[in-house]
Amino acid sequence: MHTHDHRRSYKFIWIALLLLTAITVWTSYHDYGVFNIIVAMGIASLKASLVALYFMHLRYDNRLNQVVFASSLFFLLIFIGLTAADELFRPATTKVHITNAPTQTPSAKIPVDMAVDMMVEEAGK
């Protein structure tokens, strides 16, 4: 284990996280169409990576943990790519406009027990 002073890098990462948070808030007020989810996932992934690498000390950890972290980022990129493909190439949906929709449920014309009796009689024929 090393005993370096990491205060400077922690301050840099803290400023980077604040900047990414400000970018997150700023992008929430803009519409990027189908890229909304891609932009949001990208910013969130950057913030999570900084936290994992520096505050959870994965950057200075053993090789196995670094490989696990890198492979999780690889699969995250696959997830974002598949999401982007779904958003970009999905056929447009049409909106259904219902006119003259009933405002009340129609009441039954006959009592339920009579209707059941009629159905039983028809089933017996």
Alpha carbons 90 and 124: distance in angstroms, whole number? 50
The per-residue pLDDT string of the chain (125 residues; one tens digit each, 9 = 90 and over) reads 556 667 888 999 999 999 999 999 999 999 988 788 889 989 999 999 999 988 888 888 888 988 998 999 999 899 988 988 888 888 877 777 777 766 666 666 777 777 778 888 888 76
Name the burial class of residue 19, with classes exposed (0-12), middle (13-18) and buried (19+) by CB atoms within 10 angstroms of its CB: exposed
| Total length of the chain | 125
Whether residue 51 contacts residue 77, with contact meaning beta carbons closer than 8 Å, is answered with: no
Cβ neighbours of 119 (radius 10 Å):
10
Alpha carbons 2 and 109: distance in angstroms, whole number? 84
Domain ranges of the chain: 1-125
Alpha carbons 64 and 50: distance in angstroms, whole number? 18
Q: The tokens 């009340």 sit on which residue?
A: 104
Report yes or no on whether pTM surpasses 0.75.
Answer: no
